[in-house]
């Protein structure tokens, strides 16, 4: 049973990152296996997703989340989880460069992230994600951003994401690994979300000389 989880992007990884070196991060997560979302059942993904984001939204009401039209939080999260899974297994835009990745450790799902490559691959828009509690406090967010994602987005010079305005822990965590707030609100508006509920964050990536 997953007892504590931490969120990314629209729903956020809400942990404060430790001060691990890049080499320490790599050593800590070399056992992670990355697979496509299509590799698991709809119900398995839903169970992980709902429990993950339920913990991340702890203390927030549906009104604060801008989802008062749903009867309860589980109903809303189940709907989102099913939509994510359906998008992966029945894509409506096959030319869109979207990756929905699950992270496994000891045959258990321990994380999820989805991302879209924009601007001919020069920008990564991180749309969803969550990590299991055993990965807290070990630099997992930094490792995913700096090591895993670049293998899918070789040309990307910028990472964009949205997170909840009320999720101050996540905002601080992202700032700690180099993200900056988009105070103009343009990033939120670009992706058709409300500036009352979300704030955009962006990070510039320095490409290796070989890239």
Tell me the per-residue pLDDT of 107-158, one tens digit each, with 9 for 90 and over. Answer: 889 899 999 999 888 999 999 888 877 776 678 888 888 888 998 988 899 9
Q: How far apart are CA 154 and CA 121, in angstroms?
A: 8
Give 105: exposed, middle or buried? Use CB within 10 Å, 0-12, 13-18, 19+.
middle
Contact 14, 170 (CB under 8 A): yes
Per the rule left: phi > 0, alpha: psi between -120 and 50, beta: everything else, 114 is beta
The three-state (H, E, C) secondary structure of 20-79, written as one string: CCHHHHHHHHCCCEEEEHHHCCHHHHHHHHHHHHHHHCCCCCHHHHCCCCCCCHHHHHHH
Residues in the chain: 211
Q: How far apart are CA 171 and CA 9, in angstroms?
A: 10
Name the range with the highest mean pLDDT among 47-56, 64-73, 84-93, 168-177: 64-73
Identify which of 141, 179, 142, 183 has the alpha carbon closest to the alpha carbon of residue 160.
Answer: 179
Contact 103, 5 (CB under 8 A): no
166-210 per-position pLDDT tens digit: 888 788 888 988 999 999 999 999 999 999 999 999 999 877 655
Instruction: Report the chain's mean pLDDT, rounded to a whole number.
Output: 81
Question: Two tokens at 147?
Answer: 């090591």
The pTM for the full model equals 0.79
pLDDT at 4 over 50: no
More confident residue, 186 or 21: 186
Q: How far apart are CA 141 and CA 174, in angstroms?
A: 9
Q: What is the mean pLDDT of residues 68-97?
A: 87
Alpha helices per DSSP H over the chain: 22-29, 42-56, 62-65, 73-89, 140-143, 168-176, 186-190
């Amino acid at each position: 049973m997953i007892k504590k989880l931490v969120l990314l992007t629209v729903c956020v990884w809400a942990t404060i990152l430790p001060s691990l070196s890049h080499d320490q991060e790599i050593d800590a997560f070399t056992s992670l296996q990355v697979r496509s979302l299509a590799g698991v059942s709809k119900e398995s993904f839903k169970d992980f997703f709902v429990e993950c984001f339920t913990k991340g939204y702890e203390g927030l009401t549906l009104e604060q989340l801008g989802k008062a039209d749903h009867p309860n939080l589980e109903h809303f999260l189940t709907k989102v989880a099913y939509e994510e899974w359906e998008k992966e297994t029945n894509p409506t835009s096959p030319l869109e460069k979207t990756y929905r990745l699950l992270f496994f450790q000891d045959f258990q799902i321990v994380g999820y992230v989805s991302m879209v490559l924009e601007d001919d691959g020069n920008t990564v828009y991180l749309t969803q994600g969550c990590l299991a509690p055993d990965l807290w406090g070990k630099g997992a967010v930094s490792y995913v951003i700096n090591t895993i994602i670049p293998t899918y987005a070789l040309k990307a010079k910028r990472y964009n994401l949205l997170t909840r305005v009320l999720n101050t822990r996540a905002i601080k965590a992202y700032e700690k690994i180099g993200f900056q707030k988009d105070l103009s609100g343009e990033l939120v508006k670009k992706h058709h979300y409300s500036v009352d509920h979300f704030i955009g964050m962006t990070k510039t990536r320095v490409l290796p000389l070989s890239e």
